[in-house]
């Protein structure tokens, strides 16, 4: 016992000064085997981002020694650490193979801690491969273990992975929520390396949100931490991020300097993800400098490295950078080719999520279940019928879209390049819509599968939560389908425009009544201010659609407060003093950044954000509003600032 304690006392002095594993093995040769294993695994962990080859070798030696003494707990830990190094080296196949061995070994040893680390590690690999559903399934399993064990380090590894999944899904608000939570845990347990990683990832999210000043602040803070830790992988990531900020600021020389620094570090530690990212970004800097040869050379290098990995998001990045580069060159044909490759791969990732969900549920719950009650079976059958109906509607929509696209192709065959580009934009829009149609169905299918298989293991609260999620997803699907059908009909000219005289006040009050329950649930007062004798010439159904969408938007982005619908007759001085009716839907909500104002009504921008309670919009409402108001020869626009609410205004000629 005394010898064992002494071994742990001298352990730090053995690990830190060693430059390679051979000298470390020589230094610990007289220690007990269990102590040797712990020294080697500590060395692996300390060097996983600095000296990857030495870290890998130390883990291999630890595995050999643990097999020699038949210590399954220590072997499981060594295998999990080995998997981390292979992941950092970009060998995901090898990493997954080792994971299976680590999980089996940990289960044989009944070691809950290493079982949890195995689940989280494999979730991280699936996340990197773009399989978000399967990734989340494994990470949530790990999180349950860590929370039961009260292990804050393990919890923080899970939450950082969940944050990155939300980054993949471009839900940056939820991503920041998890990453900031991770940072708090890492600070509580004084994990400086983990804290630096969280800072760097938070910076990346702010960069993606185009908040460059905030991003740079976090990057510089992370850089200070990584320098104090001599973490080369972390420094490579931070230097690349700072280079990205300088590129956005159009400081090309600074951007070039930081990207080269990041690339050199990535090659020094044999970090392929960093190599791909920095080659791609260097290409865009060289393209901006007019150095096409250097730009294309970097793009080819990035694509070559990415092709050896199974990282879907790296491949997506390569296609996107090729598209952006060709667009910058003015070669729109090649830009469109790469954009189509990008969208095809992105769609394949999404479809893979359905398969992954089914497989993960089967793997997690393969024991026989008690026969379901008749009432539950009846509900399941009804749910299946609804799902089939939704799929039939989607199929019909795909046919409609295909017909529209084919007709436009025939009509525009001899049109100008600019008009062809417009069609390409709409094609892209259709693919984005298809992606958004799949998302709620993933939730419906996944939740119904859980409900079906685990009905008796779930509490009443959990069952109600799952049913609420299914209801929310179904409602969102219906709203999107409804708006898409209306929009598709407007594109084919099958919606008749039938304006007639009407009093505006009853129409506004009817719309307000529809949304009254929704507003009350968020403590919002709805108010209508319109002269009783204000008459308007308009298509009633189109105008109702516009008002409903604007009210829905206002409620979505307001948490307590007031929404006012006001209407008046005015003189439009810009149109030779023509008489108009001006309608304003004003809320006291969170407001909209001015940079987004011009994008809200454009089909090629497709801006959709989460509301104050996580409500997801369909992304089509404002596009429909613009089309319907323009059919009336009117105008629609927004006036808003963050934190000051929004005014959506439209006018219709009298």
Q: pLDDT tens for residues 361-405? A: 334 333 333 333 444 444 455 555 666 666 677 777 767 777 766
Place of tokens 């009716």: 581
Per-residue burial over 272-290, b = 16 or more CB atoms within 10 Å of its CB, e = otherwise: bbbbbbbbbbbbbbbbeee
- CA-based radius of gyration for the chain: 29
Q: Could you tell me the pLDDT band of residue 576, with boundaries at 50, 70 and 90?
A: low
Q: Is 651 helix (H, G, I), strand (E, B) or coil?
A: strand
Taking alpha carbons only, the member of 109, 349, 146, 108 closest to residue 121 is: 146
Tell me what the pLDDT averaged over the chain comes to.
78
Which element (helix H / strand E) includes 281?
A: helix 272-288
Q: Which own/partner contact pairs does 458-461 have at CB distance under 8 Å and 24+ positions apart?
A: none
Q: What is the pLDDT of residue 27?
A: 86
Residue 468: pLDDT over 50:
yes
Tell me the range of 26-30, 43-47, 175-179, 339-343 where mean pLDDT is highest: 175-179
User: Cα–Cα distance between 527 and 561 in angstroms, integer?
Assistant: 11
What share of the chain has pLDDT > 70, as a percent?
A: 74
> pLDDT tens for residues 340-358?
887 777 766 554 444 344 3
Query: Positive or negative CA dihedral for 514, 630, 481, 356?
Result: negative
Place of tokens 């030495």: 54
> pLDDT tens for residues 37-60?
899 988 888 888 778 888 889 889
Q: What is the pLDDT of residue 628?
A: 85
Q: What is the pLDDT of residue 521?
A: 77
Q: Transcribe 540-591 into DSSP letters.
A: HHHHHHHHHHHHHHHHHT-SSEEEEEEEEEEEEGGGTTEEEEEEEEEE-SS-
Q: Is 28 helix (H, G, I), strand (E, B) or coil?
A: coil
How many CA atoms lie within 13 Å of 253's alpha carbon, on the beta-carbon side? 0
Place of tokens 């008046």: 568
Q: What is the pLDDT of residue 419?
A: 53
Sketch the domain layout of the chain as residue ranges. 365-492, 500-653
Q: What is the pLDDT of residue 475?
A: 64
Q: Could you tell me the pLDDT band of residue 413, with boundaries at 50, 70 and 90?
A: low
Which element (helix H / strand E) includes 650?
A: strand 646-653
User: Cα–Cα distance between 341 and 303 in angstroms, integer?
Assistant: 13
Q: What is the pLDDT of residue 459?
A: 76
Q: What is the pLDDT of residue 515?
A: 77
> pLDDT tens for residues 213-267?
999 999 999 999 989 988 888 898 899 999 999 988 899 999 899 999 999 998 9
Asked whether the beta carbons of 632 and 616 are under 8 A apart, the reply is no
Of residues 167 and 463, more confidence is placed in 167
What CATH code would you report for 500-653? 3.30.565.10
Q: Could you tell me the pLDDT band of residue 647, with boundaries at 50, 70 and 90?
A: very high
Section 8-26 average pLDDT: 55
> pLDDT tens for residues 69-109?
999 999 989 888 888 888 877 777 777 778 778 888 888 88
Section 563-588 average pLDDT: 86
The burial class, CB within 10 Å (0-12 / 13-18 / 19+), for 460 is exposed
> pLDDT tens for residues 590-643?
888 887 777 777 765 555 555 555 555 545 678 878 888 888 889 999 998 888
The burial class, CB within 10 Å (0-12 / 13-18 / 19+), for 416 is exposed
Q: 33-46 and 52-68 helices cross at what angle (nearest 10)?
A: 160
Q: 598: which 2 tokens?
A: 């011009």
Bridge partners (DSSP) of residue 171 are none
DSSP class of 610: B
């Amino acid at each position: 016992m005394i010898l064992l304690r002494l071994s742990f006392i001298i352990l730090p002095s053995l690990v830190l000064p060693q430059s390679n594993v051979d000298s470390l093995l020589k230094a610990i040769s007289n220690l007990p085997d269990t102590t040797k294993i712990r020294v080697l695994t500590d060395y692996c962990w300390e060097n996983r981002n600095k000296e990857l080859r030495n870290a890998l070798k130390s883990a291999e030696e630890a595995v050999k020694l643990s097999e020699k003494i038949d210590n399954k707990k220590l072997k499981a830990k060594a295998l999990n650490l080995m998997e981390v190094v292979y992941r950092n080296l970009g060998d995901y196949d090898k990493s997954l193979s080792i994971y299976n061995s680590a999980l089996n070994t940990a289960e044989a040893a009944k070691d809950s801690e290493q079982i949890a680390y195995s689940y989280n590690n494999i979730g991280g690999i699936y996340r990197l491969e773009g399989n978000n559903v399967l990734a989340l399934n494994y990470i949530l399993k790990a999180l349950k273990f860590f929370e039961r064990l009260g292990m804050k380090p393990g919890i923080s590894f899970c939450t950082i992975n969940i944050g990155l999944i939300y980054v993949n899904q471009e839900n940056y608000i939820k991503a920041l929520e998890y990453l900031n939570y991770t940072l708090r845990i890492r600070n509580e347990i004084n994990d400086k390396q983990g804290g630096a990683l969280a800072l760097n990832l938070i910076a990346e999210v702010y960069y993606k949100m185009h908040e460059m000043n905030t991003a740079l602040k976090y990057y510089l803070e992370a850089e200070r931490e990584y320098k104090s830790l001599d973490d080369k992988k972390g420094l490579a990531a931070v230097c690349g991020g700072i280079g990205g900020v300088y590129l956005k600021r159009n400081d090309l020389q600074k951007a070039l300097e930081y990207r080269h620094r990041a690339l050199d570090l990535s090659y020094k530690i044999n970090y392929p993800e960093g190599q791909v990212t920095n080659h791609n970004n260097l290409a865009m800097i060289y393209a901006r400098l007019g150095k096409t040869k250097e730009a294309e050379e970097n793009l080819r290098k990035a694509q070559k490295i990415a092709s050896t990995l199974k990282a879907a998001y790296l491949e997506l990045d390569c296609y996107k950078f090729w598209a952006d580069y060709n667009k910058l060159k003015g070669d729109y044909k090649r830009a469109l080719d790469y954009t189509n490759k990008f969208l095809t791969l992105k769609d394949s990732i999404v479809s893979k999520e359905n398969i992954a969900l089914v497989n993960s549920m089967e793997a997690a719950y393969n024991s026989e279940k008690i026969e379901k009650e008749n009432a539950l079976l009846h509900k399941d059958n009804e749910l299946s019928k609804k799902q089939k109906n939704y799929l039939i509607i989607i199929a019909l929509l795909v046919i409609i879209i295909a017909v529209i696209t084919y007709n436009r192709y025939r009509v525009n065959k001899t049109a100008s390049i600019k008009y062809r580009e417009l069609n390409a934009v709409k094609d892209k829009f259709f693919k984005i819509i298809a992606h958004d149609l799949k998302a709620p169905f993933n939730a419906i299918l996944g939740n119904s599968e859980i409900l079906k298989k685990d009905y008796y293991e779930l509490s009443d609260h959990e069952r109600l939560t799952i049913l609420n999620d299914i209801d929310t997803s179904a409602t969102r699907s219906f709203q999107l389908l409804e708006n898409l059908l209306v929009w598709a009909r407007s594109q084919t000219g099958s919606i008749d425009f039938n304006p007639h005289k009407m009093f505006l006040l009853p129409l506004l009050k009817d719309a307000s009544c529809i949304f009254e329950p929704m507003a009350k649930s968020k403590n919002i007062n709805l108010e209508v201010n319109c002269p009783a004798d204000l008459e308007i010439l308009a298509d009633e159904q189109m105008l109702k659609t516009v008002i409903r969408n604007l009210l829905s938007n206002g409620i979505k982005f307001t948490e307590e407060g007031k929404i006012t619908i006001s209407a008046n007759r005015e003189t439009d001085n810009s149109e030779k003093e023509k008489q108009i009716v001006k309608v304003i839907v004003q809320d006291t909500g969170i407001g909209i950044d001015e940079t987004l104002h011009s994008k809200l009504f454009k089909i090629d921008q497709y801006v959709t954000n989460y509301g104050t309670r996580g409500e997801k919009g369909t992304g089509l409402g404002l596009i429909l509003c613009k089309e319907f108001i323009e059919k009336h020869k009117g105008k629609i626009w927004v006036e808003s600032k963050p934190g000051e609410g929004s005014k959506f205004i439209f006018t219709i000629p009298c």
